[in-house]
Amino acid sequence: MKDAFNEKKITALTDVALITCVVQRGMADEVIKAARDAGAQGSTVFYARGYGVRERLGLLGVAVDVEKEVVNIVVSTDQANRIFEKMSVAAKMDTPGMGFMYMTHLDKAVTYIPPEVLEKLQPKC
C-alpha cells in the first residue's frame, strides 16, 4: 500500500449513499435526530427557499413555510434504506407540504477515519 514517492495516503470510502431531505425551516433537527438514532454519523444543513405543494393548497398554504432546510446525510449503502425510512417517517413526508427527500448513490467519499478503525480493517500488507 505504501507509496514510495508520497508519504501521504488517502483512504476513500466506497459503498456510500447520500440522502437529501428538504423540510420546512425548523424541522431539520427532528429529521437529523431520527437519522443519527438509526446510525448516521454526520449531517449538513443548509437554508433554502422552496415552492411546490404550498402554491397548490390555496389559503392553507400559509401553514407551509417557504423557507426550507436542506439536510444532507452521507450513509453507508447497508444503512441507507433503514435511515431513509426512519427519516421519511420523522419528517412526515406523507403529509402535503412537508417536503421532499431522495437518495443518490455516491462513487466515493473521503473524510477523517479514526486510525484505530483503519488499522483494524486494513492490516499492514
Partner 1 sequence: MGMGGEKEQVRYGDYLSRISVSFQKLSYNAITPRPELAPDGTEKPYSPPKVKLRVIDFYHILRPYIGSRLEEQLKAVVPLALYLVCFQTLVLRVNIEDPLVIFAGFVSVIGGLVLFMEGLKVGLMPLGEKLGDSLPAKASLPVFIIITFLIGVGVTFAEPAVGSLNIAGSMIKVENAPYLHALLNKWQWATVAAVGAGVGVSAVLGSLRFVHGWGLKPFILIATLPTLALTVYAMGDDRIKSVIGLAWDCGAVTTGPVTVPIVLSLGIGIARMAGKGDYPLSGFGIVTLASMIPVAAVLALAIYLAETVPAEQIIANANTAETSNSHASGNFFERPPFAEMLEGLQAVAPVVIFLLLIVRFVLREKFKEPQILAYGLTLTLLGMMLFSVGLTYGLSKLGAQYGALAPAAFTRIEGLEGSPLFNWWAGMLATVAFAGLLGFGATVAEPALSAIGMVVEDLTNGVYKKSFLIYSVSFGVGLGVIAGMLKIITGVPLAYLLIPGYALALILTVFSTEEFVNIAWDSAGVTTGEVTVPLVLVMGMGFSGALGIDDGFGILAMASLFPILTTLGAGLWIKWKISRSHL
Task: Name the segment binding partner 1 (CB under 8 A); options: 42-50, 67-75, 92-100, 110-118.
Answer: 92-100
Residue position matching grid coordinates 440522502: 19
Sheet of 44-49: strands edge to edge?
44-49, 67-76, 16-24, 99-106
Q: Does 20 bind partner 1 (CB under 8 A)?
A: no
Q: Among 11, 45, 82, 109, which residue sits at the site for partner 1 (rule: CB under 8 A)?
A: 82
Looking at 14, 41, 72, 77, which residue binds partner 1 (CB under 8 A)? Answer: 77
Q: Contact with partner 1 (CB under 8 A): which of 79, 91, 101, 103? A: 79
Interface map 21-50 toward partner 1 (x if CB under 8 A): -----x------------------------
Q: Which residues bind partner 1 (CB under 8 A)?
A: 26, 53, 55-64, 77-79, 81-82, 85, 92, 95-98
